[in-house]
Amino acid sequence: MKRRTYYIPLLFVFSLVIISGNSFAENRLGSITLSPHLGGYIFEGNQGINSAPVYGTGIGVNLTERLGVEGVFDWVDTDSKAPDKNPDVEASVCRLDGLYHFKLDANEDLVPYLSIGAGAIHINKNPGNTGTEMAANYGGGIKYFITKSLAARGEIRHIIDVEDAVYNNLIYTFGLTYLIGGKDKDVAPPPALTLIQTAAPAPLDSDGDGVIDDLDKCPGTSMGVSVDSRGCPLDIDRDGVYDYLDKCPGTPAGIMVDGDGCPLDGDGDGVYDSKDKCPDTPMGTLVDNNGCPKDSDGDGVYDNMDKCPDTPSGALVDTSGCPLDSDRDGVFDYLDKCPDTPKDIQVDTNGCPVPIKEKVSIELNVEFETNSAVVKNTFDEQIQKVSDFLMAYPGTTAEIEGHTDNVGSDQYNLKLSKKRAESVMQHLINKGIDPSRMKAVGYGQTRPVADNSTKEGRDRNRRVVAVISAIVIK
């Protein structure tokens, strides 16, 4: 493409500046713009890419009534001038532009604008040849407002690829721009007409508001207050409170207001009644954007009533907002691994009973006749109890001690005492006790428990004894 082709956007831009005035039409302050469009994209000749249709859209915002910014994405599906190398070519352009709007004095619906911006162009020459380079652009266009929120739009733009080799591209598009939101221009009321009669005296305007008394529907208006054609103070938001008294002049239509023209807030929570989903919130309660009391931990109990404000998510709570403790052991149900612990039982941090260690024991005391190791039948019940104890506590062991009186030699008595211990041990074996759990020991006459000089003392010393203990965890 010859470079004079790119003089077109420059001439277009200069012509917009010359014919534009100093005001603006319906380009509303703060409005969001949506701009779908289509057109043509012309590549520079030495890029080796055929020109083709372009499709795209823009999203922007009017920062003021003149200035705006817009992000634009354009797509071009074309082909190469050398199809034997890279037949298919896809190009996309992303850019951010600044716009400055004018107004034609002859037609307020026409809004010319100038634009400048920067971005990137991505070219994909299939197969496998892609590249992304920075690009600058400038241009201009015209918007024609069909309604106050919809405009037809046409523009032409010079796009300059600024990396490596410099390429000059041209894009021209046509489309629509839709304005969302924004603030309309304040429109002054039409001046009041005053009938002047040469012969008759000038009509009276007692309150000096510019509307003669004969036409003035509000004759007592204060000095300096702006009025409408009927002589009544302006009420632009139509809330029933005149603008000069209205402390909230932008109240949406249909909202009930107080004497200052501000939306009502019956419960004083800072959320207007028109948006308040909980209109009877108690005074001083913190609320969310809907005017409802906050429930920071999401347990269904409002913060102002919640005595446990940091309850974990999902934990069941009572009416005070505290986690349930069904068995009243001091451990909340969501932490309690033993939820049915009986009352007054000491528990650990998991809500389970704390193990209690208790020592249990049984004593064995079997007495013998002189010079005898035979167990008398009278001791069968005692031996049975010892057997039951050993069965109940299989981890216990027993040392069975045999003893004698002082009748006979020491060596004889030592053997006799062991026989007595072995005799009792055999009775326990016969009752099913494992012999490996028992040990028979003879002490002879060395450990008397009574005086051997008396018959009663000798009777007590001829014995087999054992004390068996076990630790029980409850």
Q: Which of 140, 160, 180 represents a domain boundary (last residue)? A: 180
Q: Which of 132, 155, 180 represents a domain boundary (last residue)? A: 180
- CATH number reported for the structural domain that contains residue 95 in this entry: 2.40.160.20
Partners of 101 in beta bridges: 113
| 443 and 375 within one domain | yes
Look at the chain and report how many structural domains it folds into: 3
Quick one: pLDDT at residue 85?
64
Asked whether residue 306 carries a pLDDT value surpassing 90, the answer given is: no
Contact status, residue 219 vs residue 230, Cβ threshold 8 Å: no
Higher pLDDT, 9 or 364: 364
Asked whether residue 74 carries a pLDDT value surpassing 60, the answer given is: yes
| 406 and 341 within one domain | no
| 25 and 148 within one domain | yes
Tokens 């068995």 sit on residue: 327
Quote the distance between the C-alpha of residue 382 and its chain's center: 73
* 3-class state of residue 15 by DSSP: helix
Higher pLDDT, 446 or 286: 446
For the chain, report the end-to-end CA distance as a whole number of angstroms.
Answer: 98
Tokens of 253: 């239509």
Cα 150 from Cα 180, distance rounded (Å) = 9
What angle, 0 to 180 degrees and rounded to 10, lies between the N-to-C axes of helices 410-430 and 380-392?
Answer: 60
Task: Note whether residue 36 is domain-resident.
Answer: yes
Asked whether residue 34 carries a pLDDT value surpassing 80, the answer given is: yes
Cα 442 from Cα 275, distance rounded (Å) = 97
- CATH number reported for the structural domain that contains residue 380 in this entry: 3.30.1330.60
Q: Which of 323, 354, 385 represents a domain boundary (last residue)? A: 354
Instruction: Determine which of 25-29, 136-140, 143-147, 345-349 has the lowest per-residue pLDDT on average.
Output: 25-29
| 344 and 433 within one domain | no
Task: Quickly count helices (H) and strands (E) in the chain.
Answer: 4, 12
| 341 and 389 within one domain | no
> How would residue 139 be classed by pLDDT, with cut points 50, 70 and 90?
very high
CA distances from 177 to 38, 364, 430 (A): 12, 107, 107
| 468 and 372 within one domain | yes
Kindly report, residue by residue over 315-368, the tens digit of the pLDDT.
Answer: 888 888 888 888 888 888 888 888 888 877 778 888 887 777 778 889 999 999
Task: Note whether residue 302 is domain-resident.
Answer: no
Tell whether the torsion through CA atoms of 313, 317, 320 and 324 is positive or negative: negative
In eight-state DSSP terms, residue 6 is G
Task: Note whether residue 227 is domain-resident.
Answer: no
Cα 101 from Cα 471, distance rounded (Å) = 95
Higher pLDDT, 151 or 9: 151
Residue numbers of the domain that contains 46? 3-180
Higher pLDDT, 155 or 164: 155
Kindly report, residue by residue over 76-117, the tens digit of the pLDDT.
Answer: 988 888 766 667 888 899 999 999 988 776 677 888 999 999
| 367 and 467 within one domain | yes
**Average pLDDT over every residue of 445-471:** 93
| 348 and 436 within one domain | no
* H/E segment holding residue 13: helix 7-19
**Average pLDDT over every residue of 194-222:** 76
Asked whether residue 14 carries a pLDDT value surpassing 60, the answer given is: no
Task: Note whether residue 243 is domain-resident.
Answer: no
Quote the distance between the C-alpha of residue 23 and its chain's center: 47
> How would residue 4 be classed by pLDDT, with cut points 50, 70 and 90?
very low
| 68 and 18 within one domain | yes
Q: What is the CA radius of gyration of the chain?
A: 53
Asked whether residue 381 carries a pLDDT value surpassing 50, the answer given is: yes
Asked whether residue 216 carries a pLDDT value surpassing 70, the answer given is: yes
Task: Note whether residue 25 is domain-resident.
Answer: yes
Task: Note whether residue 231 is domain-resident.
Answer: no
